[in-house]
Amino acid sequence: MRPVEIKEGIFWIGAVDWNRRNFHGYSKSHMGTTYNNYLIMDEKVTLVDTVAEEFWGTLQCNLAQVLGDRKIDYFVVNHLEPDHAGCLALAVEKYRPEKIYTSPMGQKAMKAHFQYQEWPVEVVPTGTNISIGKRTLSFIETRMLHWPDSMLTYCPEEKLAFTNDAFGQNWATSERWADQVDRAKLEELMKTYYANIVLPYSPVVLKTLAGIRDMGLELATICPDHGLMFRGEDCAWAMDKYQEYAEQKPKNKAVIVYDTMWHSTEKMAEAVASGLADEGVSVRLMSMKSNHHSDVMTEVFDAAAVIVGSPTHNNGILPLMADMLTYMKGLRPQHKIGSAVGSFGWSGECVKVLTQWLEDMNMEVIEPIKTQFIPTHDVLGKCYEQGKQIAAAIKAKL
C-alpha cells in the first residue's frame, strides 16, 4: 500500500499483513492485520514507530516516496514490541536520526532488545514536550497498556494522537479510515482486540481516558498502530467504546464453554443452555473442539455468566478446557457469575477442578453439577434448573 497523507505533511507509511493468522495468542482466521506507522514532515522530520521486521522493505519504499531528498531527524518509539519496533535497529543504521525519543521504561526495553551502544536515545516522561517546527509533540506514558513501556504521542496543533496499541484492531484492509468500512465489523474487531489483549489492563484504560479528559486533550484524529484510523466524530465513538469495554458491564448473556469425551458433558451443557434461554438469557454454547480460545474469550468478555464443562480426565479435566481456563484467567475478566458441569467414570474430580478455576477468577459461583457416566433424565432436569437459577442471578446482577 502506498503512503497516505492523513493531515497536511503527516503520512501513514505502514504495512498491511494480509496473511497474519495468530496474534498475541488469539486467532482471526481471515482478517490479517496492519502495522501502522507515521511520518511527520516538518522542520524536524519525525518517524513515529516502525513496522515488523519482515516489512522493512515496505517501510523503506514508503519512506522514499515521502522523504524525497530530506533526512529523518527524529524517531519516536511508543512501544518496543517487535510488531512495532522489529526493524528499529535497521532504521537507526540506515537513517541515523539525531534523537530517538522513548518513555523511561521504553529506554530499558530498547536496551534489552537491541543492546545498542551509542544510539541518541532521549527519555521523555509524561509531560515532556518537544518542538519539531510548526508542530509540538507531547508525550504521555501509558504504562501497562499493554506493556510497561507503552507511550502515547500527541500533537496539539493537529489535535492528533498516535496511540500505539490503544484503539487498534487486527484487520488487513486497503482502507485506512474507520468511516470507510462497515461499522458493525469494525466494532466486532475492536471488541475482539480488546477482549484478547487489552482486557487485563482495563484499570489503566480508565485512568488513561480520565487523564485525556482532565488534560483537555482535543482529539480530531486517532492513529493506532493496528487497523483503521479514526477522524472527526469517530474519535469520540472510539473513546466511548473503550470506556464501555473498560467498565466491563455485563450483558444479559451467558456463555457455556465445554469439552466432552462421549457427549455426556455436552448433554448437560445443552440442558443448562435450555434453562437459561427459557428465562430470556442470550446463550452461546461453545465446544472447545470447534472454537478457538480467543473466539470463546470474545464472547465471555461481555457475558454476565460463564458456565464451564468437562468430564474428569486423568484426575483432572480435558486439555482443551485447561487451555481455555488458563487463557481466560490470564485476561482477568470481571463481574462474572460462574458454574460448572461434568460427567465422570470412576473418579469425579472434574467439577471440583473447574470450580476452583472459577473461584480463582473471583466469580460468583453457583453450585456445580456432576454425574457418573451418562446423565439421566433427572440429572438433565437438574441442569435445566441450574440454567434457570443462573438466569435469576444474572437478572439480579444487571
Residue 263 annotated to the active site: no
> In this structure, are 186 and 270 located in the same domain?
no
By CB neighbour count within 10 A (0-12 exposed, 13-18 middle, 19+ buried), where does 30 fall? exposed
Does 397 reside within a domain? no
pLDDT, residue 26, reads: 65
24 counts as catalytic = yes
Based on the structure, what is the number of domains in the chain?
2
Residue 83 has which C-alpha cell?
A: 510488531
pLDDT-derived band at 195 (thresholds 50, 70, 90) equals very high
Banded model confidence at residue 91, pLDDT cuts 50, 70, 90: very high
Residues 6+ positions from 101 with CB-CB distance below 8 Å = 74, 75, 76, 77, 122, 124, 130, 137, 139
What is the average pLDDT value for the chain, to the nearest integer? 93
168 in the same domain as 122:
yes
Q: 241 and 297: one domain?
A: no
146 is catalytic: yes
What integer is the mean pLDDT of 312-316? 87
Residue with cell 482466521: 29
Q: How, if at all, do strands 221-224 and 160-164 pair? A: parallel
Cα 6 to its chain centre, rounded Å, is: 25
Residue 57 confidence (pLDDT): 95
Q: pLDDT (tens digit, 9 = 90+) per residue, 284-293?
A: 999 999 999 9
Query: Is 283 in the same domain as 182?
Result: no
In angstroms, the CA 336 to CA 359 distance is 11
Cα separation of 42 and 50, whole Å? 18
Can you say whether residue 315 is alpha, beta or left, with left for phi > 0 and alpha for psi between -120 and 50 degrees?
left
pLDDT at 129: 97
Mean pLDDT for 45-74 is 95
Answer yes or no: are the C-beta atoms of 354 and 338 closer than 8 Å. no
pLDDT at 25: 67
The confidence score (pLDDT) of residue 388 equals 96
Tell me how far apart the alpha carbons of residues 379 and 267 are, in angstroms, rounded to a whole number.
10
Catalytic residue among 26, 73, 146, 242: 146
Given 189, 224, 247, which residue is the final one in a domain? 247
- Which of residues 219, 247, 275 is at a domain's end? 247
194 is annotated as an active-site residue: no
263 and 216 in a single domain? The answer is no
**Is residue 398 classed exposed, middle or buried when 0-12, 13-18 and 19+ CB atoms within 10 A define those classes?**
exposed
Please indicate, yes or no, if residue 201 is contained in any of the structural domains. yes
Tell me, yes or no, whether 240 lies in a domain: yes
Task: Evaluate if residue 116 carries a pLDDT over 90.
Answer: no
In this structure, the answer to whether residues 119 and 158 fall within a common structural domain is yes
Identify the CATH number of the domain in which residue 38 sits. Answer: 3.60.15.10
DSSP reduced 3-state for 135: coil
135-164 average pLDDT score: 93
Total count of residues recorded for the chain: 398
Per-residue pLDDT band for 359 (boundaries 50, 70, 90) equals very high
Query: Which residue out of 17, 42, 73, 83 is catalytically annotated?
Result: 83
Lowest mean pLDDT among 38-42, 114-118, 223-227: 114-118
Residues 37 and 61 in one domain: yes
* From 42, 49, 73, 81, active-site residue: 81
CATH number where 297 lies: 3.40.50.360
The stretches of 179-305 forming alpha helices (DSSP H) are: 183-193, 202-214, 233-247, 264-278, 293-301
- Single out the catalytic residue among 73, 165, 225, 270: 165
CB 36 within 8 A of CB 225: yes
Residue 71 lies in a domain: yes
- CB-CB contact of 47 with 39 (8 Å): yes
The whole-number pLDDT of residue 234 equals: 96
The answer to whether residues 207 and 318 belong to one domain is: no
Together in a domain, 37 and 141: yes
Asked whether residue 29 carries a pLDDT value surpassing 60, the answer given is no
pLDDT at 27 over 80: no
The predicted model gives 142-153 an average pLDDT of 88
To the nearest 10°, report the CA torsion of 346, 351, 352, 353: 100
**Is 295 an annotated catalytic residue?**
no
pLDDT, mean of residues 300-325: 93
Q: Is residue 398 part of a domain?
A: no
- Told to judge if 30 belongs to the known catalytic residues of this protein, a careful annotator would answer no
pLDDT in the model for residue 152: 94
Whether residue 31 has pLDDT greater than 80: yes
Mean pLDDT computed over 32-60 = 95
The answer as to whether 309 is a domain residue is yes
Range of the domain at 334: 254-392
Is position 13 within any domain?
yes
Give percent of the chain above pLDDT 90: 81
Q: Which of 247, 270, 298 is the last residue of a domain?
A: 247
Is 120 in the same domain as 227? yes
Same domain membership, residue 318 and residue 185: no
**What whole-number percentage of the chain has pLDDT above 70?**
97
Whether pLDDT at 199 is above 90: yes
Among candidate residues 101, 193, 194, 384, the one labeled active-site is: 193
Same-domain status, 208 and 315: no
